[in-house]
Amino acid sequence: TDIKLGEGVRELGGLCVLGSERHESRRIDNQLRGRSGRQGDPGMSRFYVSVQDDLMVRFGAEHMEALFAKLGDTVIESKTVTRSISGAQRRVEGVNYDARKQLLQYDDVMRQQRETMYDTRNFILENDDVHAVIHDMFKRVISDIVAAHFNSEARDQDLNELIAALDGIGFKGVVRVEDIEGRTENDVVDICLNQAWSDYEQKIEKVKDKVLPIEKEVSLRMIDRAWSNHIDTMSKLRDGIGLRSYAQSNPLQAYVTEGFNLFEDMMRTISREIVAFCMNIRVVDGPEQEA
């Protein structure tokens, strides 16, 4: 907004802008200068700078302190001083730019995760039948369990541990040792998935019209809860990630890597909780069947 000169001000030389220090940003200084001499009006601007100013203390006053001390309270007007101050401003602007850029890079990690989560949530929200999504979760959970407990040289003890892990998530009696003995990992996943999904379909067959809305509601509820917890976890990670620089590691890269791992863990947790809920649904026989 232009400052209108009052009566007699023009004759006295117009508006005089006095700055008690230089701002970190040259743009702010130029805006202050621009308040005077607007639209042909007379005016002037002058800045007074001390080596004790924050800008000078942080960026570039060391080589000038001796000169200032020698001259005492004498006013110094020199292009060398002006260039030094401008150089300090350029350096602090560069530091601030890098800080904003890094801030955006940190924010971009959460932005990507947020988009992925919202896409999943919106798909469930906009579709009445999320049975296919539940099937994908079954496959993911079973694949994770098999990968954690199975290898090509698995012994009976290893296979029993695999079956116990499946039982723990709700896949009780899905397979026996003889069903998967000597099989490849992919075969074991397919066998377990087909049997588990078949068992689930048979269990809800008579009340499927009631179970489908429950699948949707439970999925949304568990996604929201997991995402809320994940946001808190990512916030804590970000608060402490700067300390990684003391270990000679890149804090941003560490945040990206660990943030991705935390997101993957969250997605696995969501799948496990939803699958466990589905496998533990109890169908009650009666005049009005419930799931």
Give the tokens for residue 89.
């401003």
At 291 the pLDDT is 41
Main-chain phi, psi angles of 181, to 5 degrees = -65, 130
Low-confidence ranges of the chain (pLDDT < 50): 288-291
At 42 the pLDDT is 84
Give the tokens for residue 36.
């005077």
Give the tokens for residue 78.
């020199």
User: Cα separation of 267 and 239, whole Å?
Assistant: 23
> pLDDT digits over 12-71, tens only?
888 888 888 888 778 888 888 777 777 777 888 888 777 777 777 776 556 666 666 666
SS3 at position 184: coil
Residues 6+ away with beta carbon under 8 Å from 99: none
Main-chain phi, psi angles of 46, to 5 degrees = -150, 135
SS3 at position 160: helix
At 184 the pLDDT is 86
Contact assessment for residue 191 and residue 96, using Cβ atoms and an 8 Å cutoff: no
Instruction: For each of the domains in the chain, give its residue range(s) and CATH number, in order of start.
Output: 15-93 (3.40.50.300), 127-279 (1.10.3060.10)
At 290 the pLDDT is 44
* Overall pTM surpassing 0.75 (yes/no): no
Q: Which residue has the tokens 């179970």?
A: 211
At 288 the pLDDT is 47
At 154 the pLDDT is 60
Number of C-beta neighbours around residue 2 at 10 A:
9
DSSP sequence for 214-275: HHHHHHHHHHHHHHHHHHHHHHHHHHHGGGGGGGTS-HHHHHHHHHHHHHHHHHHHHHHHHH
DSSP sequence for 34-99: TTSSGGG--EEEEE---TTSHHHHHTT-HHHHHHHHHHTT-----HHHHHHHHHHHHHHHHHHHHH
